A and B are shown apart, each in its own frame.
Chain A
Amino acid sequence: MPDGLPDAEASELAYPPFSEGIFPCSRCHEGGPATATAAPQPAFAHSIHIEEGIGCEDCHMPDGGQDPAPAGVEFCLECHDAPAEGSDGVRQYFASIQTGDGAYAIPSRWASDELRTHHPAHAKAGVACEACHGKPGTGVIAKPRSVPLMEACMACHTERKVAAKCETCHTRIRDPQHKSIALHHAENQRDCFGCHNPADRDKLRLANGSTLAFADSYLLCGQCHGPKLRDWRIGLHGKRTGEWDGKRKYLLCVHCHSPHEPRIPAVKALPRPPRPEEIR
């Protein structure tokens, strides 16, 4: 429970309607912390293999570009064929990345459940691994399941005149360019980054530059709307549910006001009572 609220020990804040827990901004935007959404980092050093002169295709597409996944533990053991060559470490590593159904949490034919990048098609078209995944060994690839920036995909697709329908790659489209957002909230004085944090898209940014979780967004609103924040803290603005003398739930500013268009829209009223002459 954040500070400054009455009966802090007994009450709670309602969960914000959107936040990092549901669909983190860093899924699309760079600038999020790499560990925020990436799968657990396998203890595998690309750099060592690069230094040894081993190319991406030597491990990832040994069958001629069908599948970026190495064939499995046996494939690695072909080189690491003795304890002195690290065979125990290889076995441990594969045990650690094994998922429930026996598969390995390493690149597969499709990049992910939501982004359908067909690896064999890209390999066939001569797209180098580095074009999307950065240069192995430089640290850029250190996010094995990271989603490449869409700008990079589109630049290449435009240049090669490849069909670029959204559904070809995206299984789930949630307004990726935010076209549904109309900013009617002091839009002449600021832009998206007046509230959103360009350095970490899963966080907000206060005017003094410090970062703020989405769950504490009321503090951000209060930078401009001080009197409203004051009233909200004491229960005179905003809505509370629960018990009048006990556990209450505080709704945040953004539960009622869209942060992009804070004016409450007009609504349809429920039916009127009958006029006296209509009563039977």
Chain B
Amino acid sequence: MSHEPSRRNFLKGATAATALTATGCGSDVLEAFMRERLQELSPERMTKVLARMEKDYSGQFDQEVSVAGTPARDNVLFGYGLDLSRCNGNRLCVHACVEENNQSRATTDGSHNNPIEWITVFQMDKDKGIDLDHADAYYEDETVPAEGKFYFPVQCQQCENPPCVKVCPVKATWAEKDGIVVIDYDWCIGCRCCMSACPYGARSFNWCEPNLPADEVNPKMHVLGNRPRKRGVVEKCTFCIQRTREGLYPACHEACPTGARVFGNLLDPKSEIRQLMDRKRVFVLKAELNTRPKFFYFYG
């Protein structure tokens, strides 16, 4: 049995007492273990859970880690815009996202080659238009943009009507008040129903223990966002919940050198995203599925 008990291991055990004896852990571990879903936690319990996580992660990564539980602000509904005429396929957003959100990385010696990326940039033919059947996420051109190609980044569309949430058998994923679809990594059982339900391929599964070197950890974490995941859970883009709930732009927005990305509060008439909705023709990916994404593509 591993040192850090997982919920599944715990349930496998006959009684709580057996588990306690086997792991030799104190009552706070048991509490973290037996806790309700994050959605249901009272503020006092949430404070305790966050403190416990901070302690654990600080020890695990040998540095001071903060885990915020910042709730959604009132009158905020996040929306994202992406200008397809300006994206040049440089993938800076992809890698900025990995660094910000503590995803698993590939090792240089090849021992771990299951990196997780929340943004996929598809290369498409200008001749064919937006056609996912002919999209290539593995392009390796000498320089981008390549002749006759355009680029189409896809990440979680933060649907108003999210099929992933509907199919989760344990209610481990839900949409927050500000529109961000989040996952309780401790509640996820890894069944991957949400992954098959998502029409955008926006969710990733930790097939193996994530590789997150301590010197590459982003210590500013959010309990629903970039805190480290374990093997066997699903993860996805959260519009950088740890940044956006503090008022900052998401990491992909900051990283984009072409300024193709637009982010803001859909309920604020002065925000950039609302200016986009008011002035430009926008479209959503796979509109026919009625998922109602809050991720809007446009040609600027």
Q: Which residues of A contact B (CB under 8 A)?
A: 6-7, 231, 234-246, 251, 256, 264, 266-275, 278-280
Bound-complex Cα distance A137 to B81 (A) = 65
Does B196 lie at the interface of the complex (its beta carbon under 8 Å from any beta carbon of A)? no
B139 in contact with A236 (CB, 8 Å):
no
Bound-complex Cα distance A246 to B264 (A) = 11
Digit string of B265-283 for contact with A (CB within 8 Å is 1, else 0)? 1001011100110011000
Query: How distant is A250 from chain B, measured CB to nearest CB, in Å?
Result: 11
- By a CB distance below 8 angstroms, the chain A residues around B114 are 274, 279-280
Bound-complex Cα distance A242 to B117 (A) = 24
- Counting from the closest, the 6 A-B pairs by CB-CB distance are A235-B272, A239-B259, A266-B143, A270-B91, A234-B275, A243-B247
Bound-complex Cα distance A210 to B264 (A) = 37
Instruction: Give the total number of A-B pairs whose CB atoms are below 8 A apart.
Output: 111
- By a CB distance below 8 angstroms, the chain A residues around B140 are 269, 272
Known contacts A256-B259, A268-B144, A269-B90: does B300 contact A236 (CB below 8 Å)? yes
Q: Which residues of B contact A (CB under 8 A)?
A: 81, 83, 88-92, 94-95, 106, 110-115, 117, 120, 137-145, 207, 244, 247-249, 254, 256-259, 262-265, 268, 270-272, 275-276, 279-280, 300
Chain B interface main SS type: loop
A280 in contact with B144 (CB, 8 Å):
no
Query: How distant is A232 from chain B, measured CB to nearest CB, in Å?
Result: 9
A241 in contact with B272 (CB, 8 Å):
no
Bound-complex Cα distance A237 to B83 (A) = 9
Bound-complex Cα distance A154 to B170 (A) = 83
- By a CB distance below 8 angstroms, the chain A residues around B280 are 236
B138 in contact with A271 (CB, 8 Å):
no
Query: How distant is A239 from chain B, measured CB to nearest CB, in Å?
Result: 4
A244 in contact with B263 (CB, 8 Å):
yes
Other A-B pairs, 12, CB within 8 Å; known A231-B300, A236-B83, A271-B91:
A235-B262, A235-B272, A235-B275, A236-B280, A243-B248, A243-B249, A246-B247, A264-B88, A266-B88, A270-B91, A272-B139, A273-B115
B139 in contact with A244 (CB, 8 Å):
no
Known contacts A243-B247, A245-B268: does B91 contact A236 (CB below 8 Å)? no
A244 in contact with B247 (CB, 8 Å):
yes
A6 in contact with B262 (CB, 8 Å):
no
B89 in contact with A269 (CB, 8 Å):
yes
Bound-complex Cα distance A272 to B141 (A) = 10
- By a CB distance below 8 angstroms, the chain B residues around A243 are 247-249
B144 in contact with A269 (CB, 8 Å):
yes
Bound-complex Cα distance A37 to B200 (A) = 59
Of all chain A residues, which has the CB nearest B276?
A236
- By a CB distance below 8 angstroms, the chain B residues around A242 are 248-249
Query: How distant is A258 from chain B, measured CB to nearest CB, in Å?
Result: 14
B272 in contact with A236 (CB, 8 Å):
yes
- By a CB distance below 8 angstroms, the chain B residues around A239 are 256-259
Known contacts A270-B90, A273-B137: does B244 contact A236 (CB below 8 Å)? no
Q: Which of B143, B259, B265 is in CB contact (< 8 Å) with A244?
A: B265
Known contacts A234-B275, A236-B275: does B144 contact A274 (CB below 8 Å)? no
Bound-complex Cα distance A279 to B248 (A) = 34
A237 in contact with B259 (CB, 8 Å):
yes
